[in-house]
Structure 1
């Protein structure tokens, strides 16, 4: 006793966040305890002003009888804008123990009302600097500061992307701010603490402003100016002094403007930088800007401004090239050893005017030459012109590339010195939450590939690829991968932001664009539009985020009603355009669409989305809608069976994906065992190879395992030959490919047209690896991993061990197992304030050891064990929090989960 503490305090998913933009933020904490089986029974929250005086709190909840410790809503008086609050929590457990107060945490609000903005959008005066110039802008303002600064904050954003400087120093390590949103509806602004950067007397603030997604040519026609034709900045600096007075410096027509060394920069094509054009000290007080142009205010909306929601993009890792070489074509090339997303930073000494050109690519061709074909029109090129004044270091400011190999032209000397180059990995800075490993190193490499693919493609939006002239937020890709994504990384803020964009872009009739943000204009494919339902529900499942679910409910409902309005049968979706089982291997020659009939796929997703909508309505207390959409789901399922399942219980379409979707979405009823058997036989007849595309693959191994064919699923995973996950690894893949045969067995490529080597969709197999191979899952009835379901399915004789961990909102969950002869050892770690059901397949009660003690030997259970029962699967053990070890000789009973 006496070891109960509340720790890891977060506000709106973040630790000590700056710039909270919600009026009733939600607070979370984790429990640590010195015993097993700990549940929270009550909590007390206290919020104080920034002085931390809890004797005079802003709000004290008093003791609240509740087990809630995740996303607990602040319940005090209305919060003030631009204000820091200090908070703490204490808890009581189910044994009556009272914790001490936690260490205090802080959160600070941002501008909670748009009327508080006094800054104006500014750009260089059009009469002095061409608004359409390719060159990035420099904007600056000199100002004076009194003695006694207590704190200073800048609230800033851009129509474009920007870097912010105060007195010559970058104010943040965030990159490509303000990120990419549906700018016409929502534009994020950022909050920065610049207290330590100010000094009494003369000061200056500067903005380096590039095109970013706002003005770059995007999508297939590379149409410029999708959102606007002028870059602009918005900056508001608030200074608070020790004497209580305040001053503000805001962007207006008094600022000065110029161009600088970035002469060209776009998302797809790269950046051109002439170091001879650098303006030393341009953001420092005292810089002579008499020859600079005036700024002018421009009319851009203020009502679209929203506080930062997503994790910011940062450089999260640096890697050194592993080799340099000369290709058969004579090119000097760096090998980074990893297909990465970000940029190269290099250092050199060279005469003024020396031009270095970097061209980035993912793979080499079969002859060993660097391959640019799959980039299509994207240049991914950096051009640097040296200043010639000693040692120079440079990395691009306003773009990113997807690459493993870099062709270097113009480098002085005969060889490329490896120590002159470093790769800076960039993505949304999501905390890592999941890890998986097993006895097969090829599968461990697959897990690394999945994570690298997610990092590269979760650069502010969930993109389809990071290298070619696309990099779009495809809704279908996001929905098939989201479950795996949320195991790997904390995606709460990431998907909150993206799903708000989806809702904003949704059509008046409920239709959903193919991509979000929508820069191509097309919409409404099954499996793609269903992201409007599947993604909010999945975020709720992983984090218990009812507020976001409620916010997006109307969007979910609108999509289902859109489907319902299609065609002349409201329970079948057999009209309109659909991508189908995209790039499945059973497609006809020359087609990207698999052989599974598109009406079958569309109706299956219709059933799935209507079911999830009904469940969401139930969670939100919308009882009429829950019943209404429950009935709709039942009718769609019946229509599916009538249309796509024969009288003798077989699918009318004999494709792998047809069987998979019928089973995954529980559409088959009594025919399910027959259909599962058919699927298993299809896989075996095909030599343990799959033929599925984007929609069938994510569920393939899951349904095989759940219907009793886990051996087949594991053999499918470990398949070395084409097609399969391990095949790409045999070809040197360090990320997930878009096509199973991106590189063919003879070394040639699938196609230049659409052949990304960093495309996360097929990485959706990771969900099965976490949930079935390692057995780390949540109870289907309780969100957020509050109630765990731990049921490893072991390795079909092909894997001898597996281990995984997941850092949930309640704490770290771990599962592992290994086989040794006829014995199985399972370990589980359950965080405080949660419980778990552990299913030990093939175990018998009389032969089960827990923590080294034979169960039932003295008629008692180890601490934390609540019950033990024999089942058809083996043994089920109900446990509370703590670490447990299970050991038994298998009885060999492994029936289907379904």
Structure 2
């Protein structure tokens, strides 16, 4: 009897375990993750009081769609989990899981909220509630009580000033939040520790129109009793050299700090510590710091413990001067901050023919070098930075123009010292070291990459190692030039937000990294710096003057990037916020036109197109600039029509549809013969005409044939520049010439995408022949080896080789088209993309004429698979397909 009871108990125990296991498995069939507010994880400074919520869905069941969701928001994490005292609670039917508008009680500024979500799917499964995530609303103007402070006298010194405040906290700290910004750049500490792992804050905006502040949770930095706050300022973009005309003090001549620390104690009481006339200031060891020229740091002037409580030497520090608020418009962060990323050990130390000591890091990158050294006090070590060595193997900096790109470190003579800059960055692969005491070893130097903190979203590989290196170069061109704003280059005396480069590359950028927040932030300045007549500057922020604006293919950034971001991320609000800017740009072109023909003003044209010395037979790659302008006039008008349709602006849609027809008719009348031949017979002329549907439909196929013949005439080489290159392979594929597109992509001789790869490039070059076959250089005044514009081919590589495509009428990859088109003797390719719904994967191999395709489609989306002779629609899940080709 006892045995039977024992066996019965064992049976029930096993049954209970199986039951619990099955419940667990069942619960895991559906879950939510990657919760975001306004594209950000746990943001501490949401500008809007009507934020938008997004999440991703994980499911182990194929064909899963969200059927409904529940969301709840409250000011307390515990109450949110309990479902009590909420500011918003909603239960909504539908499959929307991206950028859902807040619709609860009006939120308060400067307040933290928590939220969570759970979903049901079309299979009857319900997820568990997600763990609560947080967001914090930004400050309104009346929330600011801090005063701007600066040095006591006129701010004429190049030395970076230090600001200090010691405080005594009488109670236990429950929470503490710091709100910080500066005119210039800042680095803030509490009790000797940096309060953030970010750099170059507050970032670069059009400072004369708005200035960002950052918000930090500093609870862990404070303690009951004595505490100290320390902040260092640098010149940055605000006061330092900017542009290529030697200008400085562009936005102002006075560095200043605004710091507001809000503390809540365990007993519920609150206290605010802020910048005012009670702070103290002194000079520090940074003798000068300039973005173009580098930093000089004298360790002998370090003030040990200056950011710690109990620092007695501050008795000799001077007071500070408060500044009136003026017209400063403070706004919260909307994009990612710059942070440290990859680190590179020195590959080798070279002695050049000139006897220089040069360190090779093997990768052209943007950031700085961390240096370790031991030596006598006063020893000066100089690090100079360059992208390439010259033909003879010597250190080459002529292409930097006036930018010194040089950091100096002066030892204090106290054992091993470690140096890295604070308010500057360099673009480099090679570093020349001068004045180093003792024997320099590879382990004494580490290169550190810095760029905006964007998550990698795309991966792309093939069986061809040269293409893989090209993809590597595209990614590193993006990393090096996405340092708070999308710059043209990161090394010479320029580093500006050139609009033409950005619009050409935006679609590729959205494959490689999550650039939603990055471009949202920058587009605000595109709109703010736009002239009253609608013209858009060549660079944003605009530091080269209002007269430098309105160029075709550059100013069209106002329409192209908002639309690209809408398609990539499904963000309708970006169209809403930029719509006025889009309208303004089209209106400017219309006002500059006569009889719908835009043939006035300055234009860059097809910038840096291929121009060989002997190309004089009528096929020359010089494309009429006004002809190009007319195509972009049409393209921007079409994008405005698209935006109007999405936003439900039917009158505008009709108005600009009529305008577009007139623009195309004017193009045909002015630039095309009756049989479809264009007055400029270049690749770029035909590419833009076909990409933007400028020609009558019955003449397009013949025009594509002329484009192909031109490419064949040049020995399967491209001749396009900044404006034609992004669309070249897309047009070929559109008209059935994938083979020609592959011939161009796989071309290894100049001019081509793979020529720089064969020449050892690790980033994208500004010119097709930045280094000529004989080792000599192109025009040194404009020859960057880290310029991402030609990397726009990445868009075609993802879309056509891997076959991952978004659909504009269901943006953000809600509906996905997987349509790989093998070619170029590639035997396999694989890509993946982390979308706002989850990971899309496409991987194929060719074996004996059989195309084998593996795909992964995220939950809450659908996809169309397009293969030779086989097209079908599928839901979420993992699939395998095979097709003869």
1:789 matches 2:813: no
Q: After superposition, where does 1:669-680 map in structure 2 within 5 Å?
A: 669-680=697-708
Q: How many residues align?
A: 850
Any residues of structure 2 matched to 1:361-760 within 5 Å, and which?
A: 361-413=386-438, 415-521=439-545, 522-569=548-595, 571-586=596-611, 595-668=622-695, 669-760=697-788
TM-score (norm 2): 0.95
Distance, in Å, in 2 between the alignment partners of 1:473 and 1:737 is 17
| 2:336 corresponding residue in structure 1 | 311
Tell me, yes or no, if structure 1 residue 13 matches structure 2 residue 39: yes
- d(CA) in 2 for partners of 1:391, 1:50: 48
Q: Secondary structure at the match of 1:35?
A: coil
2:369 corresponds, among 344, 361, 372, to 344
Among candidates 783, 807, 810, match of residue 834 of structure 2: 807
Deviates more, 1:724-733 or 1:294-303: 294-303
How far apart are residue 62 of structure 1 and its match?
2.9
User: Per the alignment, do residues 190 and 302 of structure 1 end up closer, same or farther by CA in structure 2, a change over 3 Å counting?
Assistant: farther
Shift of 1:81: 2.7
1:877 is matched with 872
CA pair 220-167 structure 1, distance change in 2 beyond 3 A: same
What is the CA–CA distance in structure 1 between the aligned matches of 2:196 and 2:327, rounded to whole Å?
Answer: 24
Residue in structure 2 matching 1:40, options 49, 66, 83: 66
How far did 1:589 drift? 9.5
Q: 1:193 aligns with which of 175, 199, 217?
A: 217
**SS in structure 2 opposite 1:784?**
coil
Give SS of 2:700's match.
Answer: helix
Asked if the contact 2:621/2:682 (under 8 Å) is kept, the reply is: no
Q: Distance in 1 between matches of 2:856 and 2:340?
A: 32
SS at match of 2:501: helix
Instruction: State yes or no: 1:271 paired with 2:266.
Output: no
- 1:888 CA displacement: 2.5
Contact kept in structure 2, 1:482 and 1:535, CA below 8 Å: yes
Shift of 1:390: 0.9
**Deviation per CA, 1:248-270, whole angstroms, max 9, x where unpaired?**
11101111001110001111000
Per-residue CA deviations over 1:354-391 (Å, capped at 9, x if unaligned) read: 10000000000010001001000000000110000111
Distance 1:99 1:346 in 2: 51
Which residue pairs with 1:83 in the alignment? 111
Change beyond 3 A, Cα 1:295–1:504: same
Deviation, structure 1 residue 524: 0.6
> In the alignment, is the contact (CA less than 8 A) between 2:79 and 2:86 conserved in 1?
no
Match of 2:360 among 335, 347, 350: 335
The correspondence for 1:776, drawn from 766, 785, 804, is 804
Name the CA distance, whole Å, in 2 between partners of 1:416 and 1:745: 33
Q: Secondary structure at the match of 2:559?
A: helix
Shift of 1:350: 0.7
Secondary structure at 1:503 match in 2: helix
SS of 2:641's partner is helix
1:222 aligns with 2:246: yes
The separation in 2 between residues aligned to 1:641 and 1:110, in whole angstroms, is 52
Contact 1:437 1:804 in 2 (8 A): yes
1:133 counterpart (157, 165, 184): 157
Residues 270-315 of structure 1 deviation map (CA, whole Å, 9 limit, x = unaligned): 0001000001111111112111111010134364110011100001
- How far off is 1:587 after superposition? 7.8
Provide the rounded CA distance (Å) in 2 between the counterparts of 1:539 and 1:207.
36
TM superposition shift of 1:588: 7.9
**1:27-73: CA deviation from partner (whole Å, max 9, x where unpaired):** 10011112111111211111122232133142344321121100111
Cα offsets for 1:536-555 (capped at 9, x unmatched): 11111111111121011000
* 8 Å contact from structure 1 (residues 114, 303) kept in 2: no
| CA shift digits 1:801-848 (9 cap, x unpaired) | 11110000000000111100111101111100000111012xxxxxxx
Q: Would you say 1:49 and 2:75 are equivalent positions?
A: yes
3-state secondary structure, aligned to 1:452: helix
Q: 1:304 to 1:11 in 2, by over 3 A?
A: same
- On the 8 A contact 1:600/1:640 being kept in 2, the answer is yes
Instruction: Give the 5 Å matches for 1:104-115.
Output: 104-111=132-139, 113-115=140-142
Scaled by the length of structure 1, the TM-score of the pair is 0.93
Whether the aligned pair in 2 keeps the contact of 1:582 and 1:594 (CA below 8 Å) is no
Aligned-pair CA distance for 1:84? 2.1
Q: How does 1:830-849 map to 2 (within 5 A)?
A: 830-841=857-868
Partner of 1:209: 233
Deviations 1:205-236 (A, max 9, x none): 01100000001111121211110000000000
The answer (yes or no) to whether the contact 1:358–1:383 under 8 Å persists in 2 is yes
Would the aligned equivalents of 2:598 and 2:630 in 1 still touch at CA under 8 Å? yes
SS at match of 2:576: helix
Contact 1:587 1:595 in 2 (8 A): no
Equivalent residue of 2:79, what SS? coil
The answer for the alignment partner of 1:857 in structure 2 is none
Question: C-alpha deviations, 1:321-354, integer Å up to 9, x for none?
Answer: 1111100000000001000000000111111011
| Counterpart-to-counterpart distance in 1, 2:871 and 2:478 | 35
Partners of 1:791 and 1:441 in 2: CA distance: 23
SS at match of 1:153: strand
Q: Distance in 2 between matches of 1:457 and 1:167?
A: 34
Deviation at residue 791 of structure 1 after TM alignment:
0.4
Q: How far is the alpha carbon of 1:78 from its aligned partner?
A: 1.5
Aligned to 2:3: none
Could you say what secondary structure the match of 2:156 adopts? coil
Tell whether the 8 Å contact from 2:177 to 2:218 is kept in structure 1 after alignment. yes
> Does structure 2 conserve the Cα–Cα contact (< 8 Å) formed by 1:46 and 1:87?
yes
Q: Using the alignment, how far apart are the partners of 2:883 and 2:522 within structure 1?
A: 46
**1:780 Cα deviation from its structure 2 partner:** 3.3
Q: Secondary structure at the match of 1:468?
A: coil
Q: What is the Cα-based RMSD across aligned positions, in Å?
A: 1.4
Deviation at 1:392, TM superposition (A): 0.5
CA shift at 1:594, angstroms?
5.7
The structure carrying a bigger helix percent of its residues is: 2
Q: Is the 8 A contact 2:77 2:132 kept in 1?
A: no
Q: 1:576 to 1:589 in 2, by over 3 A?
A: farther
CA contact (8 A) 1:114 1:302 kept: no
Matches of 1:121 and 1:705, distance apart in 2: 57
Report if the CA contact (8 A) 1:44-1:60 is conserved. Answer: no
* 1-structure distance, mates of 2:152, 2:369: 34
Deviation string, structure 1 residues 118-176 (Cα, Å, up to 9, x no partner): 001100101xxx41110001001111112221000100000000100001111111101
After superposing on structure 2, the runs of 4+ consecutive aligned residues of structure 1 that deviate more than 4 Å are 587-591
Say whether the 8 Å CA contact 1:240–1:247 is kept in structure 2.
Answer: yes
Distance 2:863 2:146 in 1: 53
In the alignment, structure 1 residue 22 sits paired with structure 2 residue 43:
no
Q: Give the corresponding residue for 1:124.
A: 151
CA contact (8 A) 1:581 1:594 kept: no
Within 2, Cα distance between the matches of 1:286 and 1:744? 61
Question: What aligned pairs does 1:89-100 form with structure 2 within 5 A after superposition?
Answer: 89-100=117-128
- Distance apart, 1:590 and its partner CA: 13
Aligned partner of residue 715 in structure 1, secondary structure: helix
User: Structure 2: where are the runs of 5+ without partners?
Assistant: 1-25
Which digits, 9 at most, give the CA deviation of each residue in 1:558-590, with x for residues without a partner?
Answer: 000000000422x21111100000010148899
CA contact (8 A) 1:257 1:292 kept: yes
Q: 499-508 or 594-603: which moved more?
A: 594-603
The answer to whether the Cα contact below 8 Å between 1:511 and 1:523 also exists between their aligned partners in 2 is yes
User: Does the 8 Å contact 2:208/2:328 carry over to 1?
Assistant: no
